[in-house]
């Protein structure tokens, strides 16, 4: 699992989003585009969906999990963009 997470983080959009989060946690500010945030969220969703697909859940349960996670991730992305916009970090 750790290797798969490392591979997902190598995606340029996900890596940039992680970098912005780390930079913010250190008390600095950096800018990121709205499209990059959207692409990073979509990349994370794709990664999680692949993990769900490889699980031992039944087909119906897999679809429920995927839909639930997608809604959660999209909501999280929206909140993240709102916070970045409020901090004047979203371009």
Q: What is the pLDDT of residues 6-26, one digit of tens each?
A: 776 777 888 888 888 888 888
Average pLDDT over residues 26-34: 88
Q: What is the pLDDT of residue 2?
A: 65
Q: For residue 46, is pLDDT > 80?
A: yes
Sequence-ordered alpha helix ranges (H) in the chain: 2-9, 12-25, 34-53, 59-86
Cβ atoms 58, 52 nearer than 8 A: no
Q: Which residue has the higher pLDDT, 42 or 2?
A: 42
Residue 80 to residue 14: CA distance in whole angstroms: 13
């Amino acid at each position: 699992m750790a290797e798969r997470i490392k591979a997902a983080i190598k995606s340029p959009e996900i890596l940039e989003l992680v970098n912005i989060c780390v930079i913010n946690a250190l008390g600095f500010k950096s800018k990121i585009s709205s499209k990059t945030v959207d692409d990073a969220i979509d990349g994370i969703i794709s990664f999680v969906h692949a993990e769900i697909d490889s699980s031992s859940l039944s087909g119906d349960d897999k679809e429920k999990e995927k839909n639930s996670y997608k809604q959660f991730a999209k909501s999280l992305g929206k909140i993240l963009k709102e916070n970045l916009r409020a901090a004047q970090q979203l371009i």
